[in-house]
Each structure stands twice: as structure tokens, then as C-alpha cells.
Amino acid sequence: MKNSVRDMSLMDVGDDNIVLFHPHVPESAVSLVQQTLTTRWIGQGPKVDEFEQKFGARFGEGRTAIAVGSGTDALHLSYILAGIEAGDEVITPVFTCAATNIPLLYQKAEIKFADVQPGTLNIDPSHVKQLISDRTKAIVCVHYGGLPCDLNELSAIAAERGIPIIEDAAHALGGTYNGKPVGSISEFSMFSFQAIKQLTTGDGGMLVLKDGSLAEKARRIRWFGIDRVAKQMGNWDNDITEIGYKYQMNDIAAAMGLSALAEFDGVLALRQKLFRRYSEQLQGTPGLQIVGDGYTDREHAAWIFTVIAEDRPGLQAKLRAHHIESNQVHYRNDRYTVFGGRRNNLPNMDAIEEKYLVLPLHPRISIEQVDKICDVIRSGW
Ligand SMILES: *Cc1c(COP(=O)(O)O)cnc(C)c1O
């Protein structure tokens, strides 16, 4: 069946095309969503509670999880809870989805872009150290592609100043660091369930809190600033004393989330297998470097597989001629007008800006297809 292509830069599904991303929705989601649609609660209700519970147990070692409408919502909540206000400096990765940094603008924070680390494209702790000032209020990190950042180094820097680490773990569901799941480590961890992430609810997100006493405030500002629990106990005329948003998850999305959570371990294992296959097959290819492999103290969550390639346009054209999609996916954020529109002097980012490329990795890709992609690349471009 042909998927009509909404984005003309994308290929059709089918025709031997190997597409870069494809949503993964388990079959069990269909019946659970259908069941949910027949109940009184299709908005935020019991399915959201259950999803939060199970998610916090699985990824947060029992921490409180707050389900929201998107990963961006979760990031905004974490920035509010961390007390980030107008003029506060926040150190954040230059290389990430704009979703990481746009909510810092909601808070009118002063963004300090940190450079990438060459082999991982994660935030470079040595540059973070240089950017720290008396006005730094938080450090944001992104586990690029699914490889956890140098959290020991980052938390040492943060602890020295008594400021929190906010993990944008949108890529890293299922990743671990020193044996601990991503989601159980820093003050704030945020996940995204957007369509092409490892676990999807169509759109959705989760904020996991180290300090459970922040949960009440998090739930209030998720819902206009209203104490929804008190309201449901019968107190309908309660006051609103702080500005909140409409950031809640609904039970239809939570039903998808619960189904996906139940089979997540299998999906993660498959993704990691595909990642390892790419790494093995592409090791030592001239003009090519693999991003983020070879670590033993942390487990890669294998959201995407990225290479640094000489003559990227040449490689992309060759892949396309073989019906293989590839793309940059993320762009350095300092080039966007809303962030100032001026490339900072970031030598590591500058060095890879014209070279990084993301290859297809998702549950619809087979080992044979990875082998085919690697054969095409190894034959040169
Ligand atoms: C996907 C993503 C987000 C959140 O995106 P939403 O679409 O709001 O769920 C945030 N940060 C990164 C790095 C992402 O890739």
C-alpha cells in the first residue's frame, strides 16, 4: 500500500524504499484504545494514572512521573519547577531538536549554547564548565541519538553550584548510565512520545521528578493552576493562584502508552540489535565515523544511528539512488532567528555541521536491510 507522501522530501513506504522513520504502534493498542473510547474517561483519567505509575516504576526507580501532552510540555514544566525566570542563564546543547530550547524562551531565560563532544555529539562537559557563571540556573542535556551524556561530569559541575540537571531524554528511553535507567538519575528527566520516538502515544510526554514534593505543583500547572484532586473531591470553586497551562495527557494517548510499555523491552532489544549491526558493518569504512558507539559504562537506547561522513551530499545521493532515506534530523539551534540567528564559535559543532547524517533505524527495518545499507555505503560514494 502506498502512503501518500505529505512531505515531498520523503519517499513512499513500499517500492523497496527504506524509510528513515516509521511510527511503531503495537497491535494491542488498537483494542485498548477502542475499549477506552467506550468509557466515561477519554480525557485525563484512570489510564493516565496507570501509565504514570508503570512508567515511574520502570524508568524512574519509583519516582513520580507526570504525564503531559508532549515532550515540549514536560520540558516547559521542568523549567518552571527549576525556578528558571527572565534573565536567568541556562546552559543547553546547541545540537538538538528545537523543542529542547524553545520553552526556555517561554521563560525568557538567557540561553548559553554549549558545544558538542566530537565522538558522541552530546553536550561537552568541558565547555559547560567554561560557560558556568553566577547567573547559571540550570544545565540542560540531551542524550543524542539515545547515548546517555557524561552525567557524572555534568552533575559534579552542577553540584558545585547547587543547580539542577534537566535531562532531555527524548531520545533515550531505555538507556542506562552506570547501570541505572535514564529517568532515575537527575533532578528532572523528560521523555517524548511523539510519533517517531521509541514509544509513541501520537503525541505525549512524561516528566520524572527526583523531588516528589514538586509533584503537586507540577500537577497544578499542568491544569491551568487548578488543584484538580481537590476539585474532584467536590471542591469545584477552588482558587487559582498561579499561572498554569493545559498540558495534560488524555486517556486515549495513555492507552497507547500502556500497550507500548508492555512490549517495550522487545522493541528496545530490536533497536539495539540493529544499532550493533550497523556499528559492526561500518567499522573502519574510509571517510566515515560512527557516532556514540563503544561505551561500556552506559547503554545506548538506539533511537537513531548517526555517522560523520566526508562528502555528505555525495553519500546521501548514493543512498537515495538505492532507495534509502537519510537526513540530518536535527540542526544546530544557534542558526535559528528566534535564538539570535548567529552561529556561535563552537569548534566541534563547526567541524561536523556539514558531515553528520542519520540512517534508518526502527522496528520495520530488518537486519538484511541494515546489511544492504552498509553494503551500499562500503562500496564508496
Ligand atoms: C522529540 C524531542 C523532544 C520533544 O518533542 P515533542 O514533539 O514535544 O514530544 C524534545 N527534545 C528532543 C531532543 C526531541 O528529539
Tell me which residue has its CA closest to atom 9 in ligand 1.
71
Ligand 1 atom at shortest distance from the alpha carbon of 203 = 9
| DSSP 8-state code for residue 324 | B
**β-bridge pairing 188-192 and 331-332:** unpaired
In ligand 1, the atom with minimum distance to the C-alpha of 142 is 13
Q: Where are the domains positioned within the chain?
A: 27-262, 264-378
- The three cell numbers of residue 151 are 552525567
CA nearest to 197, candidates 21, 7, 13, 17:
21
Find all residues with CB under 8 Å of 361, minimum gap 6, and list them: 271, 274, 275, 278, 302, 303, 304, 305
Take atom 13 of ligand 1 and give the residue whose Cα is closest. 97
Q: What is the residue type of 327?
A: N
Residue 283 C-alpha to ligand 1 middle, in angstroms? 30
What b/e sequence results for 160-193 when a residue is b if at least 16 CB atoms lie within 10 Å of its CB, and e otherwise? eeebbbbbbbbbbbbbbbeeebbbbbbbbbbbbb
CA 201 to ligand 1 center in whole angstroms: 13
Ligand 1 site-directed mutation target among 20, 168, 198, 206, most atoms within 8 Å of CB = 168
In angstroms, what is the span from residue 192 Cα to ligand 1's centroid? Answer: 5
Ligand 1 binding site (Cβ under 6 Å of any ligand atom)? 70-72, 96-97, 99-100, 142, 168, 170-171, 192, 194, 197, 205
Ligand 1, atom 6, residue with closest C-alpha: 71
Q: What is the pTM of this model?
A: 0.96
Cβ neighbours, 10 Å, residue 37: 11
Q: How many whole angstroms from 132 Cα to the centroid of ligand 1?
A: 25
- Could you tell me if 4 and 14 are in contact, meaning their C-beta atoms sit under 8 angstroms apart? no
- Ligand 1 centre from 281 Cα, in Å? 29
Q: What is the pLDDT of residue 11?
A: 79
Q: Which atom of ligand 1 is nearest to the CA of 192?
A: 9
Ligand 1: atom nearest CA of 144 is 13
Q: Give the Å distance between the CA of 184 and the centre of ligand 1.
A: 19
The CATH code that applies to domain 27-262 is 3.40.640.10
CATH code of the region 264-378: 3.90.1150.10
Q: Are 142 and 104 a contacting pair, CB within 8 Å? A: no
pLDDT value at position 380? 97
Alpha-carbon span 156 to 68, nearest angstrom: 30
- Burial level of 227, CB count in 10 A (0-12/13-18/19+)? middle
Mean pLDDT in order along the chain per 10 residues (381 residues): 59 85 97 97 97 98 98 98 98 98 98 98 98 98 98 98 98 98 98 98 98 97 88 77 96 98 98 98 98 97 98 98 97 98 97 98 97 98 96
- What per-residue confidence (pLDDT) applies to 5? 58
The pLDDT tens digits of the residues spanning 193-202 come to 999 999 999 9
Nearest to 254 by CA among 66, 77, 75, 99: 66
pLDDT computed for residue 6 by the predictor: 62
* Exposure on the CB side of residue 30, measured as CA atoms within 13 A: 3
Residue 42 Cα, ligand 1 centroid: separation in angstroms? 24
Q: What is the pLDDT of residues 248-305, one digit of tens each?
A: 999 999 999 999 999 999 999 999 999 999 999 999 999 999 999 999 999 999 999 9
Residue 13's pLDDT is 78
